[in-house]
A = this chain, B = another copy of it.
Amino acid sequence: MLPLTPQDPDFEARVRASFVRQAFMSTLGARLLRVEPGLCEIELDYRADLTQQHGYLHAAVSTAIADSAGGYAAYSLMPAASSVLSIEFKVNLLEPARGERFVGRGRVLRAGKRMSVCALEVEAWHAGRATVCLSGLQTVMCLANQPDGLTRG
């Protein structure tokens, strides 16, 4: 287990550059907030075109910002010439995702050379008050010597 110390001093710029390459984040209108060693937050505004049949945010949309936040939390601790891949995650949808704004957060629980584990959560902000609507766990893999910008298929 590695400490939560970045191996790459430019980790934040590297994470932000990768986020820009995630076209789906821009489709959702998601914005990258905090990027710290082992921590990442991604924010999203409610939009009617992101909802499920009851008018709440679709579980896959809250999962999207949680999954990307976890991946980047782990990526912040990886070497410069690497890329990151989620291999599995599990989420509990604690409450309907009702609100004007949603914040996805990933925190590294274990930073390994190859495999890292993150805790995920999403807060739904409604009338100035946050409710945790999603709680999750995720495993991500580090692809060593595969810089993120070059690996698109």
A86 / chain B contacts, CB cutoff of 8 Å: 59, 93
Cα distance A55–B153 when bound, in Å?
A: 5
A109 / chain B contacts, CB cutoff of 8 Å: 92, 94, 132, 135
Q: List 11 A-B contacts (CB under 8 A).
A: A22-B51, A22-B53, A54-B85, A54-B148, A54-B151, A60-B63, A63-B64, A90-B90, A92-B137, A96-B153, A109-B135
- Name A89's contact: one of B50, B64, B91, B119 (CB within 8 Å): B91
Contacts from A to B (Cβ < 8 Å): 1, 18-19, 21-24, 26-27, 48-56, 58-61, 63-64, 67-68, 83, 85-96, 98, 109-110, 114-115, 117, 119, 132, 135-137, 139, 141, 148, 151-153
Q: Which of A27, A55, A59, A96 has the most CB of B within 10 A?
A: A59
Copies per assembly? 4
Nearest Cβ on chain B to A119's Cβ, whole angstroms: 7
A135 / chain B contacts, CB cutoff of 8 Å: 109, 117, 119, 137
B50 touches A23 (CB 8 A): yes
A48 / chain B contacts, CB cutoff of 8 Å: 23
Cα distance A4–B74 when bound, in Å?
A: 31
